[in-house]
Amino acid sequence: MDNRAIGVFDSGLGGLTLVKELHRIMPQENIVYLGDTARIPYGTRSRETILRYAQEDIAFLQDKDVKMIVAACGTVSSTLTKEITSSLAVPFVDVILPTAQAACALTSHGKIGVIGTAASMGSNAYGKTIRNIRNDVRVFGNACPLLVHLVENGMIQEDNQITRLTVEMYLKPLMEEGIDTLILGCTHYPIIYPVFNSVLDYKVTLVDPGKATAQYVKNTLSKAGLFCTREEKGKTEYNVTDQPQSFGQTASLFLGEAVTEQVNQVRLKPLDSNS
């Protein structure tokens, strides 16, 4: 048993959809959340920049003495290398494998669509992982660079015409391929889950990386004997790298509840000073 917190990081607030699921299935666990809001979005950055940012995020959580580190960011998950993650002293989980496993289990005709940031799609991480699980599955991907900005700016209503038209534009080539399952390959996307369902006429199974990864985290903690021993509800520490004033209102969209805890503005150590 281990009463230390679970560390979760993302480029912004999208990872809170994963935190929401962790709260639901493991309410007794403490969580330390880091949103690198000063440098969002990661999806348009170079691979070298993403790796540097991710390592600085990980170092911050290591300094918090967490018992596990979870990369809630699809861009980071598709970019980080085994050389980096395998050297960590605590278990590391990203969103790629849990989400790919869920999609492979759910697909009915072996046609899986994947949407995400430009960096995520450029890495083909989901495609490679899915084909390692099931080589009979066909994977179709499309980058959706505008969706994060729409969600971050609160344009999440099912009847928001700008968001709906944007989703229709991005999904059209995947719908033409006859996909039966769609991976929402960025933790921002489940916020507009109803828009995707409506555009797809409820005929395509949607895979939420937050839900899939939260269950994977629970299973990993169970196998490693790392559940906490407390019975009362755990606490969540929220950290952001930009001004925290607007965090509460936006975060409530992702968490489905008000943020009552203090939100800390933190400064990350440059990578070369983490050694």
- Residues with catalytic roles: 73, 186
CA distance 79 to 54: 9
User: Which has the closest alpha carbon to 116: 173, 187, 164?
Assistant: 187
Structure letter (DSSP) for residue 269: P
CA distance 205 to 207: 7
Give Rg (Cα) of the chain.
18
Residue pair 24/237 in contact (Cβ under 8 Å)? The answer is no
Structure letter (DSSP) for residue 232: S
Torsional sign, CA 11, 186, 98, 213: positive
User: Which has the closest alpha carbon to 206: 221, 219, 191, 220?
Assistant: 191
Query: 3-class DSSP state for residue 125?
Result: helix
Provide the CB-side half-sphere exposure for 262 (13 A, CA): 3
CA distance 158 to 67: 38
Q: Which two tokens stand for residue 263?
A: 């939100």
Query: 3-class DSSP state for residue 200?
Result: coil
Q: Which two tokens stand for residue 191?
A: 């916020």
User: Which has the closest alpha carbon to 95: 136, 53, 59, 129?
Assistant: 129
Structure letter (DSSP) for residue 261: S
